[in-house]
Amino acid sequence: MRTIILIAHQAMTARLVKLMRRHMATFERYRLLSTAETGEALECETGLEVMHLFPARKGGDIQLCGLVCTNTIAAVIFLRDPLTSDPAEPDIAPFLRACDLNNVPLATNVVTAHALAAWLGRKPAGENAVAEEAGSGAPRKTLQ
């Protein structure tokens, strides 16, 4: 089964829940991974099973970043709160870089998250063509 990483800053968790409810049929088709806090909220609010890794402040973001580098992640939705500056928040630059280096689609705001969810919900027939266009010339490996 293919995997989607779902992360949200605390102020954006409700918007991530709303997004998931709107695209429930799509999210039901994927394995879902998240940090502990976000994952618990998503499970509680959507009824979907979400595998929780460590909390972000204890390295969960690093665990997820490592998974992005294995080319087993179909996409990442990371809803950031651009208005809140919390010095305790982990630096997300390595996470963004990992997505870029590994051609993993990444949405960091609600509008692109809806577009990515719609793309994930499409018929998988064009999947290899999209991966080949993304850069390497070979389809990305995904969990099936």
Q: Which is catalytic among the residues 61, 81, 86, 100? A: 61
Q: What angle do CA 117, 85, 12 make, to 5 degrees?
A: 30
86 is catalytic: no
Contacts of residues 136-142 at CB distance under 8 Å and 24 or more positions apart, as own/partner, are 136/103, 140/71, 140/102, 140/103, 141/71, 141/72, 142/2, 142/3, 142/71, 142/72, 142/73, 142/74
Judge whether 13 and 35 are in contact, CB under 8 Å: no
| Residues with active-site annotation | 61
